[in-house]
Chain A
Amino acid sequence: DIQMTQSPSSVSASVGDRVTITCRASQGINNYLAWVQQKPGKAPKSLIYAASSLRSGVPSKFSGSGSGTDFTLTISSLQPEDSGTYYCQQYDSYPFTFGPGTRVDIK
């Protein structure tokens, strides 16, 4: 199975800050990497697929980058509505696996 790790496990930042979350796969995943946002008590929401493609309707403050085994999610200007937990997920091979999540809080 492909293991996904994320760092940091949590981040607290101020409104307007730039926030970067890193995801690493245990082997190459051909950029089949998604980012998912989950707010407390809510269903997950897809933000990015194929490592860097923004899902329709998702604000452009979210961006993804990376290749091979190392990937990044960036929130360019953090807003209160961005608080929640962010997961990366590989869909290169079964079983599809998620990272442990990064909790984003507003200072």
Chain B
Amino acid sequence: EVQLLESGGGLVQPGGSLRLSCEVSGFTFANYAMSWVRQAPGKGLEWVSTISHSGASTTYFSDSVKGRSTISRDNSKNTLFLQMGSLRAEDTAIYYCAKGGPSGYYGDFDYWGQGTPVTVSS
């Protein structure tokens, strides 16, 4: 059974940083692209970042987080990370990790985690 479990969310002051983790199981992590998608309170879904499958580890970011975020993966620990800095109130959201589907297209998400909430407030 495929499982994705996010952690690392919480209350952060504006200008602060945090690192989100997504530990996965039930599939060969290294073989699939992985992504982060967020959802602000009462709003829709917003793609944040994608990292390719192991090997190239090419990364992509939305303009809203580009330059202040890093996405990475530790294939030995089956874990995806999102490091975010210079946090703003508008970064307040539930952050979901999502697995790339078997089609090979990075934005084709076949499984989603339960999410970890991030609140940016003083």
Contact = CB atoms under 8 A, between A and B. Distances in A.
B47 A95 contact: yes
B41 to A, nearest CB: 12
Contacts of B47: 89, 95-98
Which label, helix, strand, loop or mixed, suits the secondary structure of the A interface?
Answer: loop
B103 A44 contact: no
A45 interface: yes
A38 B103 CA distance: 22
Q: How large is the interface on B (under 10, 10 to 19, 20 to 34, 35 or more residues)?
A: 20 to 34
Interface in A91-107: 91-92, 94-101
Contacts of B31: none
A18 B101 CA distance: 28
Interface in A1-41: 32, 34, 36, 38
Contacts of B111: 46
Contact of B44 (A34, A43, A92, A98): A98
A99 B47 CA distance: 11
A91 B106 contact: yes
A49 B45 contact: no
Given A91-B106, A96-B47, A43 B60 contact: no
Interface string B59-92: 0101100000000000000000000000000000
Given A87-B45, A94-B60, A101-B44, A43 B113 contact: yes
Residue from B35, B111, B113 whose CB has the most chain A CB atoms within 10 Å: B111
Contacts of B50: 94, 96
B23 interface: no
Nearest to A55: B110
Interface in A53-107: 55, 87, 89-92, 94-101
A91 B108 contact: yes
